[in-house]
Chain A
Amino acid sequence: MLDFSILTDNLDAFLQGLKITIISSLIALLSSFIGGTLIAVLRMAPVKPLNWLGTAYVEFIRNIPVLVIIFFTYLAGNFGGMTAGTIGLTIYTAAFIAEAIRAGIMSVPKGQMEAARSTGLSYGQAMRLVVLPQAIKIVIPSLGNQFINLVKNSSLLAVVAGGDLMYQGDLISAKTYVTFDTYILVALFYLILTIPLSLGVGFLEKRMARSH
Chain B
Amino acid sequence: MEFLAPFVEVYTLDHFKFLLEGFAVTLKVAAISIVLSFVIGGLIGTVRYARIPVVSKLLALVVETIRNLPLLLIIFFTYFALPEIGLEMEISTAAIAALTVFESAMISEIIRGGLNSIEKGQIEAGRASGLTYIQTLRYIILPQALRRMVPPIVSQFISLLKDTSLAVVIALPDLLHNGQIIYAQKGSYVIPVFIIMALMYFIVNYALSLVARKLELKQS
Contacts and interface: CB of A to CB of B under 8 A. Distances in A.
Main secondary structure of the interface of A (DSSP, over half): helix
B165 A195 contact: no
B163 interface: yes
Contacts of A63: 158, 162, 201-202, 205-206, 209
Contact of B70 (A59, A76, A190): A190
Given A75-B190, A173-B80, A65 B69 contact: no
Contacts of A166: 70, 72-73, 76
B12 interface: no
B185 to A, nearest CB: 13
Contacts of A190: 68-70, 73
A159 B180 CA distance: 13
A59 B197 CA distance: 16
Nearest to B67: A198
Nearest to A152: B70
Interface residues of B, number: 36
A66 B77 contact: no
Interface residues of A, number: 39
A199 to B, nearest CB: 10
What 5 A-B pairs have minimum CB-CB distances, sorted nearest first?
Answer: A155-B70, A63-B205, A194-B68, A65-B162, A65-B165
Interface in B156-200: 158, 162-163, 165-166, 168-169, 176, 183, 190-191, 194, 197-198
A148 B68 contact: yes
Main secondary structure of the interface of B (DSSP, over half): helix
B109 to A, nearest CB: 11
Interface in B204-219: 205-206, 209
Interface of B: 64-65, 67-73, 76-77, 80-85, 158, 162-163, 165-166, 168-169, 176, 183, 190-191, 194, 197-198, 201-202, 205-206, 209
B165 to A, nearest CB: 4
B69 to A, nearest CB: 6
B194 A76 contact: yes
Contacts of A65: 162-163, 165-166, 176, 201
A87 interface: no
Contact of A179 (B65, B69, B80): B80
A83 to B, nearest CB: 17
B65 A191 contact: yes
A183 interface: yes
A68 B178 CA distance: 13
Contacts of B194: 68, 71-72, 76
